[in-house]
Copies of this chain bind each other. A is one copy, B any other.
Amino acid sequence: MSEISLHGGDPSVLRRLNSAATLRALRGGGEPTLSELARKVGLSRPTTEGVVTDLAERGLVTEVAPRSGAGLGRPARRYRFRAEAGYALGLDIDAHWVRLFLADLNGRVVGSHRADLDVGWQAPERLAAVRAAVKTCLAESGIERSALWAVAAGTPGVVAPDGTVAFCTVVPDWQGLNLGRELGRSFSCPVYVENDANLAAMAERWRGVAEDADDMIYVLAGLHTGVGVIIGGRLHRGRRGAAGEIGMLPELGLRDTTAALAGAPLPAPGTVTGGAEAVLEAARHDDPEAVALVERLATRMARGVAAMALAVDPETIVVGGALTRAGGRLVDELRRRVRPLCLSPVRIESSALGDEAVGVGAVRLALDRIDENLFRIDQG
């Protein structure tokens, strides 16, 4: 009884299954021979050869120089995955800056760029500056635009599935903009748009302090606030892409952090000037007034963070964003204030990726979409 049914037994489905398994084995690294690859995947050598030929034609696999054999005869041919077959571009578009990261199919970063944006700009000027930054980043990295297989962009606000910024108070002239469509004009590959805190959560799970966490929360504590939620290893967006927007409740203290830092009068105007960034810098240097401000912010944020912790009961809460630049003080204060509000001690960590989290998360999202297509077996 060694029969197996594959709903119709479509041979092209089997071919794609074999192709995906072979690609996965090659992507794991190394430069196997056909025989080694066949053994690893569990296919016959002739089948493996057919699959590899097909993958090479698609540009995903290439032959490497054979190693000089110890024995007699011609050394066996070896193959490797072509991570340089395509690239993923990740953008972090904020009110104040755009950050870009360019990575190959293995996630190796091959280029990055950052440009300041004027917070007073309307959408067209901001989009033009983003496009210019993309051009510079590609040129500096020596990567052709046509080599991009996917682009993802992070933005503050609630993002609808079609790439529209459905709700955003942080970036002027941004709410209602179909950012996916606007950016899509510059690329021939798919463009995805996601909330910035969501992407930062993905980044910290990929390469940060929450590596491989099943359930985690990322709190973006910057000039605006946001929350990203990973559940069961996957980004939880919610019905309208608005999961984590708990800062909407004024008593949970996340909503008006921005106002307190960016707009409201500072505690000692004579001592600390230059806005939020200056406060943060001062707090790092133990200026007592600024330290007091960070402590007050922590007190206010603690309830929102605790509410998220109680709602989701995560393994880890990662706190990132500009406010964490204050030398870990904000995170220390949050730890002290959140724990008494929770049922059990919750792990609260500083972001490992700092200001790069959103851009790195955008790369991860773009790579995820590329992988879904590479390993899709239900379509031709």
Contact = CB atoms under 8 A, between A and B. Distances in A.
Given A42-B7, A303-B251, A310-B246, A240 B343 contact: yes
A17 B4 contact: yes
A43 interface: yes
A176 to B, nearest CB: 14
A240 B311 CA distance: 12
Q: Select the residue from A4, A234, A237, A252 with max chain B CB neighbours within 10 A.
A: A4
Interface in A328-344: 341-344
A380 to B, nearest CB: 15
Contacts of A311: 227, 229, 243-244, 246, 307-308, 311-312
Interface stretch (A8-16, A73-81, A107-115, A349-357): A8-16
B14 A313 contact: no
- How many copies, total? 2
A333 to B, nearest CB: 18
A103 to B, nearest CB: 28
A314 interface: yes
Interface residues of A, number: 60
14 contacts: A1-B14, A1-B15, A1-B18, A3-B18, A231-B231, A239-B313, A242-B343, A244-B310, A245-B310, A248-B341, A249-B306, A249-B307, A251-B303, A308-B311
A6 B9 contact: no
**The 8 A-B residue pairs with the shortest CB-CB distance in the complex, in nearest-first order:** A238-B313, A5-B42, A311-B311, A243-B313, A246-B310, A242-B313, A307-B307, A245-B310
Given A306-B249, A343-B245, A3 B43 contact: yes
A47 B21 CA distance: 28
Given A241-B313, A307-B311, A11 B1 contact: yes
A50 interface: yes
Nearest to A46: B1
Interface string A14-51: 11011001000000000000000000011110010011
A312 B41 CA distance: 40
Contacts of A6: 4, 42
Contacts of A274: none
Given A234-B232, A249-B307, A243 B4 contact: no
B43 A344 contact: no
A215 interface: yes
Contacts of A7: 42
Contacts of A243: 311-313
A341 B306 contact: no
Q: Select the residue from A9, A158, A239 with max chain B CB neighbours within 10 A.
A: A239
A306 B51 CA distance: 53
Contacts of A251: 251, 303
Given A3-B44, A44-B3, A47-B3, A312 B236 contact: yes
Contacts of A237: 313
Given A2-B9, A50-B1, A243-B311, A167 B343 contact: yes
A4 B308 CA distance: 45
Nearest to A244: B311
Nearest to A7: B42
